[in-house]
């Protein structure tokens, strides 16, 4: 298993396959993709999980966190998220946010994220904005 930064185009492919396979590829692209850092977790040569990090000063947001359905529940996403959070801290981030699917909020709580009051719907799915504050150098 290896985690490394990847080009946005590789992230798009996995995002599309996992998150919105019934939509056009353009649906998974973000305007901010050119300024983000895209992480990929590989098992052998296969890309199995991706996440994109967008930093602005001391604040960041991660988006489009996806793991192949056949590779879920194996700890790959957890490892990828931990590396991304550590990199965010090293970059000076003090606050990080994500738009979590409501049914996945419990997963993010394991990483110290708390729910905000903001809930919204997109593409027929309900999301809640979650945040985490970094007070020390441990992710």
Q: For 82, phi and psi rounded to 5 degrees?
A: -60, -45
pLDDT higher than 90, residue 139 = no
Provide the residue ranges of all domains of the chain, joining segments of one domain with +: 2-95
Predicted local distance difference test score (pLDDT) of residue 124: 87
Tell me how far apart the alpha carbons of residues 98 and 94 are, in angstroms, rounded to a whole number.
14
Give tens-digit pLDDT for 80-111.
999 999 999 999 999 999 999 999 999 999 99
- The model carries a pTM of 0.91
CATH superfamily of 2-95: Gcn5-related N-acetyltransferase (GNAT) (3.40.630.30)
Going through 68-113 in order, the beta strands assigned E by DSSP cover: 95-101
Give 38-76 pLDDT, tens digit per residue.
Answer: 999 999 999 999 999 999 999 999 999 999 999 999 999
Backbone angles phi, psi at 14, to 5 degrees: -75, -40
């Amino acid at each position: 298993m290896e985690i490394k930064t990847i080009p946005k185009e590789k992230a798009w492919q996995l995002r599309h396959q996992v998150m919105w396979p019934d939509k056009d590829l353009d649906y998974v692209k973000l305007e901010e993709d050119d300024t983000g850092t895209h992480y990929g977790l590989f098992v052998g040569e296969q890309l199995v999980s991706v996440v994109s990090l967008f930093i602005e000063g001391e604040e960041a947001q991660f988006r489009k966190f996806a793991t192949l359905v056949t590779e879920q529940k194996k700890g790959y996403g957890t490892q990828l998220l931990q590396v991304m959070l550590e990199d965010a801290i090293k970059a000076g981030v003090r606050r990080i946010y994500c738009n979590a699917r409501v049914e996945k909020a419990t997963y993010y709580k394991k990483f110290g994220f708390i729910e905000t009051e903001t809930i919204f719907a997109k593409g027929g799915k309900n999301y809640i904005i979650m945040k985490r504050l970094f007070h020390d150098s441990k992710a």
